[in-house]
Amino acid sequence: MSELRDNYISWIRDAHAMEEQAITMLSSQAERLESYPELRTRIEHHIEETRGQSQALERVLDRLDDDTSMLKVAAGKFSATMQGLGGMFASDEVVKGTLAGYTFEHMEIESYRVLIAAAEAIGDTESQAVFETILQQEEAMANWLAANTGKTVKTFLARDEADLEASH
């Protein structure tokens, strides 16, 4: 029972670190986006959702009596992954950004599937409902990015061809 609980709490803490990293990554993307207003608006909406996700995970950990004092420190562990995916300041930054964003959303999607399975195993139905709500937000963001890949790439190519600011 205690191994089960230890695994469960450690995965929730990992998810919290992932969301804190998402806030950093999405904020730096959104504030640089000038030529892609719809993408920027969608990312800004997801930043607000992500802040809510992070707070919801903190409430879950509080309810499970976990010590949340060191959570923000742990958030740095995802930064190396995201620097590898980011491509910020590349000449095709917006394209690298959509690749990184879609990849990140899918890491989040699978992370919440893991948490839902663990919540089922431990019988924590209250937290399971939280994870299911977050999972829907991640799926919606991934679906939006996928539905807009063509537009993003074609806008980038057309602006680059016309010597307009295209990278972000």
Residue 20 within binding range of Mg ion, rule CB under 5 A: no
| Contact window for Mg ion (CB under 5 A) among 6-14, 67-75, 103-111, 146-154 | 103-111
What residue type is 124 in one-letter code?
D
What residue type is 89 in one-letter code?
F
Q: Please select the residue that binds Fe ion; options are 9, 30, 101, 108, rule is CB under 5 A.
A: 108
**Could you give the angle at which helices 93-122 and 125-161 cross, rounded to 10 degrees?**
170
CB 22 within 8 A of CB 50: yes
Minimum Å gap between C-beta 23 and Fe ion is 10
Minimum Å gap between C-beta 156 and Fe ion is 22
Taking the C-alpha atoms of residue 54 and residue 58, their distance in angstroms, rounded to an integer, is 6
**Residue (of 32, 164, 15) closest to 87 by Cα position:** 32
Minimum Å gap between C-beta 121 and Fe ion is 24
Specify burial of residue 167 (Cβ count, 10 A radius: 0-12, 13-18, 19+): buried
| Contact window for Mg ion (CB under 5 A) among 2-10, 37-45, 51-59, 93-101 | 51-59
Q: Please select the residue that binds Fe ion; options are 43, 138, 156, 166, rule is CB under 5 A.
A: 138
State the number of binding residues for Mg ion (CB under 5 A): 5
Minimum Å gap between C-beta 104 and Mg ion is 8
Residue 108 within binding range of Mg ion, rule CB under 5 A: yes
| Contact window for Fe ion (CB under 5 A) among 28-36, 94-102, 104-112, 122-130 | 104-112
Opening angle at CA 110, ends 132 and 29, nearest 5: 95
CB 26 within 8 A of CB 98: no
- Contact residues toward Fe ion (CB under 5 A) are 108, 138
